[in-house]
């Protein structure tokens, strides 16, 4: 099995893992994704030209898979950001509920200080 074949296999496994990410198992899957990405990076560093015609064709397939992987990882990143924003909003709402007078009220009142 050539390096290009190994890269294609790793990319396909990354695609399957990132596609089946659920919020409950997200931490474990992210660790798997990170380890596979690190291994993939090492293989990419070991990849050296000149390439045969077959390797070039497989390289084109690898590039297509990589684009799909990038979009899936970007959507995973956006899900995580959305969850973090939701948690922060919930936290701030809980603080405002517990300490209602800590923050200034905006009720539109104006006091005239002139005599």
CB distance 56 to 114 below 8 Å: no
**What is the share, in percent, of the chain residues with pLDDT greater than 70?**
90
pLDDT digits 0-9 by tens, 58-106 = 889 989 999 999 999 999 999 999 999 999 999 988 888 887 777 665 6
CB distance 10 to 70 below 8 Å: no
Confidence of residue 34 (pLDDT cuts 50, 70, 90): very high
Q: Is the pTM of this model over 0.75?
A: no
Domain ranges in the chain are: 3-98
Work out the mean pLDDT of the chain and round it to a whole number. 86
**Distance separating alpha carbons of residues 30 and 81, to the nearest angstrom:** 14
Confidence of residue 115 (pLDDT cuts 50, 70, 90): low
């Amino acid at each position: 099995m050539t390096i290009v074949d190994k890269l294609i296999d790793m990319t396909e496994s990354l695609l399957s893992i990132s596609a089946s990410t659920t919020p409950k198992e997200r931490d474990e899957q992210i660790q798997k994704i990170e380890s596979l990405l690190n291994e993939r990076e090492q293989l990419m560093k070991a990849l050296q030209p000149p390439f045969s015609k077959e390797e070039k064709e497989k390289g084109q397939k690898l590039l297509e898979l990589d684009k799909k992987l990038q979009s899936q990882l970007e959507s995973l990143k956006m899900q995580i950001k959305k969850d973090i924003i939701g948690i922060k909003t919930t936290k701030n709402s809980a603080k405002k509920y517990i300490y209602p007078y800590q923050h200034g009220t905006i009720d539109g009142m104006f006091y005239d200080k002139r005599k």
